[in-house]
A and B are shown apart, each in its own frame.
Chain A
């Protein structure tokens, strides 16, 4: 049995090194980096690591994070509640060799309070605010309207950018079913709060029910009345009350959504897709990329997490591997006897099965990533982070990812 660097592995290494250089370029050319993806693939950790890279290169970096693991939150100094920016102490960064002027700040997006905060921020008076917050329709809406978290993340991003205190803002986005959901959030919200329709709802007569619409013919009115009965009369009044109150804070709101959308389309904003090698998204990358381009929010890089990278050894059957490594296993654990029945034989066999299985998995990952890469627009770098059995929960751990994300740095 020969252990040789296979051709495909060497090629992968070349592509990887070219990609890693480019991700650093992407960061140096953009002020805002949005990490999009379906979640569960290390998006939060990736975002934090990218922000740390910025700090190490002299940037005033902030990571806007959604739901970090507790120990990561602890090491970044952000708590589970509240959303004030907290700077990582210079002393903690000093040991990592932060470049001149570099700082790292972390901020947690408070998801649960996000709609409430939005209402509080835009309500013209205490009274309006209270009437919205107490509205049952609003309470349902704020819990279930798709895109509210996404929208709030973008709005928060706008505020951080306007503050002028940061020159690298990295955004960790809420997990979505589809990577595009995040980008669509502002438009969806704007559509939802369409001025014409809101005005429709805020006519004073609405509280009395559908039947007051004189412009409708009688049959339509009759049927709408039936629908009203079916769905519950109180709901309509609540919807109307809600929009009456919302109408009062709508002006500032629309302008804000516009600003936020413009920020996402700013040439200084880069989108990184964070994915795993076994996701459905891999089969749809060309669709994803074209949709992003259409929204004038082009994809600038891909981070592939949890990859089983091909090993520098040829593949063999588990039996062959087992017999090849058994002398070493035998020497290590000093078992009596030889062959299948011995302890060393059993351990060698399990080690061999594990290795062979791992290689099979690596082969599958490599194949899926290659297909994905072919659908990727030219010049979009793709970097791979291996599936390592450890929780990344401190600054040192975040920095250890830089070797994979950016190639050798520091």
Chain B
């Protein structure tokens, strides 16, 4: 699968635990899509600010990425989405306000935890469906610039706790509410989510023991709710600067110079360079072990992103990640799974 295939869908979810670089991958994908002329809406859930902050950084960058004007942002708030939804079906706005402000309604919303999540997903469904050409006469006329409909919606899915909670909600609601509008709403959302030509889930992980374990749980969880992941992005993969044999020889050399030439600056520099090489090789070995576990658990393309060493991870690094991501997917569109490692880090 090429990156173009992935970005041709209506709706992408980037799913992963906090600290694996999920937001970076979200932004990198969005920038790749707008660069290709698509209008993109990126969404995060109310309360999370990481995506908004990342986009601000891109907008304020000295050399902004091409197509940024085609990128819009939305924070989805389940409670607000529920109110919007109710206003849509009960068109007595002023009175509804009174209800929304009442303690009993507040409590009802708080007490029905699935409802807010379902409404948030419903809102995403609505945004993604606006992009559907079949349902949009203007798009059918071929006038792509007419109106603000996004071509692609990318959702930065929550970082902590149950990262699949939102995705699970339509099915849960479908079962929990056997009749009524919520049931029908859930059904509509489910049919979009389960259509692999329209919806893709991009799972983001890093190749260390605990995050890889969690990613395996996420993959199993997705399967459990009938969603297939479109791609697995393994972030922050370290590369050994030299082979194991070379490292052995360098280590031996470092041991001999250390006591003799400790005062000599070049020798000290060499010793430090070898130590850092050992460390990088160590990380590379750990990463390789867990990349293998992750690869064994999926049939989807696996894109490895390099660990980026830098003073501060900023917009330029994100664009670099985007370029690497493109290359990784392009590599595989012809052959097997994408591979490859350089140096890089996304946070």
Interface residues of A (CB under 8 A from B): 1-3, 38-41, 67, 69, 136-137, 140-141, 143-146, 149, 174-177, 192, 197, 200-201, 219-220, 223-224, 226-227, 229-235, 238-239, 276, 278-280, 311-313, 321, 324-325, 327-329, 331-334, 347, 350-355, 357-358, 360-361, 363-364, 367, 388-391
Residues of B within 8 A of A143 (CB): 162, 165
Contact of A223 among B90, B115, B273, B310 (CB under 8 A): B90
In the assembly, what is the distance between CA of A143 and CA of B225, in Å? 15
- Among the 9-residue stretches B27-35, B274-282, B296-304, the one with 4 or more Cβ atoms under 8 Å from chain A is B274-282
- Is B241's CB under 8 angstroms from A140's CB? no
- Is B177's CB under 8 angstroms from A232's CB? yes
Of B50, B267, B309, most buried by chain A (CB within 10 Å of CB) is: B309
- Is B253's CB under 8 angstroms from A355's CB? no
Residues of A within 8 A of B50 (CB): 280
Q: Evaluate whether A140 and B269 lie within 8 angstroms (CB atoms) in the complex, with A38-B18, A229-B180, A232-B177 already known.
A: no
Q: Evaluate whether A347 and B246 lie within 8 angstroms (CB atoms) in the complex, with A1-B269, A328-B253, A364-B310 already known.
A: yes
8 tightest CB-CB pairs across the interface, nearest first?
A: A389-B282, A232-B177, A332-B253, A357-B309, A364-B311, A40-B19, A3-B268, A232-B180
- Is B17's CB under 8 angstroms from A388's CB? no
In the complex, B126 has a CB within 8 A of chain A: no
In the complex, B334 has a CB within 8 A of chain A: no
- Is B209's CB under 8 angstroms from A230's CB? no
Contact of B95 among A223, A321, A360 (CB under 8 A): A223
Interface residues of B (CB under 8 A from A): 17-20, 47-48, 50, 53, 85-86, 89-90, 92, 95-96, 98-99, 102-105, 107-108, 110-115, 117, 158-162, 165, 172, 176-183, 209-211, 213, 238, 241-242, 246, 249-250, 252-254, 257, 265-270, 272-274, 276-277, 279-283, 285-286, 309-313, 343, 347
Nearest-CB residue, chain A, relative to B186: A232
- Is A354's CB under 8 angstroms from B273's CB? yes
- Is A39's CB under 8 angstroms from B180's CB? no
Residues of A within 8 A of B180 (CB): 229-233
Residues of B within 8 A of A280 (CB): 50, 53
Contact of B311 among A192, A233, A360 (CB under 8 A): A360
Nearest-CB residue, chain A, relative to B264: A3
Nearest-CB residue, chain B, relative to A141: B113
Contact of B253 among A145, A223, A231, A331 (CB under 8 A): A331
Nearest-CB residue, chain B, relative to A362: B311
- Is A220's CB under 8 angstroms from B99's CB? yes
- Minimum CB–CB distance from A362 to chain B (whole Å) comes to 9
- Is B99's CB under 8 angstroms from A230's CB? no
- Is B179's CB under 8 angstroms from A233's CB? yes
Of B47, B283, B312, most buried by chain A (CB within 10 Å of CB) is: B312
Residues of A within 8 A of B257 (CB): 328
Residues of B within 8 A of A41 (CB): 19
Interface of A is mostly: helix
- Minimum CB–CB distance from A350 to chain B (whole Å) comes to 4
- Is A354's CB under 8 angstroms from B160's CB? no
Q: Evaluate whether A354 and B277 lie within 8 angstroms (CB atoms) in the complex, with A144-B117, A360-B311 already known.
A: yes
Q: Evaluate whether A146 and B161 lie within 8 angstroms (CB atoms) in the complex, with A40-B211, A361-B310 already known.
A: yes
- Minimum CB–CB distance from B204 to chain A (whole Å) comes to 13
- Minimum CB–CB distance from B346 to chain A (whole Å) comes to 10
Q: Evaluate whether A140 and B266 lie within 8 angstroms (CB atoms) in the complex, with A219-B95, A233-B179, A391-B286 already known.
A: no
Contact of B111 among A227, A239, A391 (CB under 8 A): A239
6 contacts between A and B (CB under 8 A): A144-B117, A223-B96, A223-B99, A235-B112, A351-B250, A389-B283
Q: Evaluate whether A39 and B160 lie within 8 angstroms (CB atoms) in the complex, with A219-B95, A230-B180, A234-B178 already known.
A: yes
- Is B210's CB under 8 angstroms from A67's CB? yes
Of A149, A327, A358, A364, most buried by chain B (CB within 10 Å of CB) is: A358
- Is B246's CB under 8 angstroms from A232's CB? no
- Minimum CB–CB distance from B20 to chain A (whole Å) comes to 8
In the assembly, what is the distance between CA of A227 and CA of B82, in Å? 10
- Is B104's CB under 8 angstroms from A200's CB? yes
- Is A332's CB under 8 angstroms from B250's CB? yes
- Minimum CB–CB distance from B91 to chain A (whole Å) comes to 10
Nearest-CB residue, chain A, relative to B268: A3
Residues of B within 8 A of A352 (CB): 273
In the assembly, what is the distance between CA of A280 and CA of B96, in Å? 38
Residues of A within 8 A of B285 (CB): 389
Residues of B within 8 A of A224 (CB): 99, 105
Q: Evaluate whether A231 and B177 lie within 8 angstroms (CB atoms) in the complex, with A39-B18, A144-B117, A144-B165 already known.
A: yes
- Is A354's CB under 8 angstroms from B86's CB? no
In the assembly, what is the distance between CA of A201 and CA of B53, in Å? 41
Contact of B160 among A67, A175, A230, A351 (CB under 8 A): A175
- Is A136's CB under 8 angstroms from B176's CB? yes
- Minimum CB–CB distance from A151 to chain B (whole Å) comes to 13
- Is B286's CB under 8 angstroms from A38's CB? no
In the assembly, what is the distance between CA of A141 and CA of B252, in Å? 59
- Minimum CB–CB distance from A137 to chain B (whole Å) comes to 8
- Is B112's CB under 8 angstroms from A328's CB? no
- Is B343's CB under 8 angstroms from A350's CB? no
Q: Evaluate whether A144 and B114 lie within 8 angstroms (CB atoms) in the complex, with A324-B269, A350-B241 already known.
A: yes
- Minimum CB–CB distance from A153 to chain B (whole Å) comes to 13
- Is B19's CB under 8 angstroms from A229's CB? no
- Is B112's CB under 8 angstroms from A239's CB? yes
In the assembly, what is the distance between CA of A197 and CA of B50, in Å? 35
Nearest-CB residue, chain A, relative to B114: A140
In the assembly, what is the distance between CA of A292 and CA of B48, in Å? 20
Q: Evaluate whether A177 and B99 lie within 8 angstroms (CB atoms) in the complex, with A40-B18, A355-B272, A361-B311 already known.
A: no
Residues of B within 8 A of A390 (CB): 282, 286
Q: Evaluate whether A234 and B179 lie within 8 angstroms (CB atoms) in the complex, with A1-B265, A141-B113 already known.
A: yes
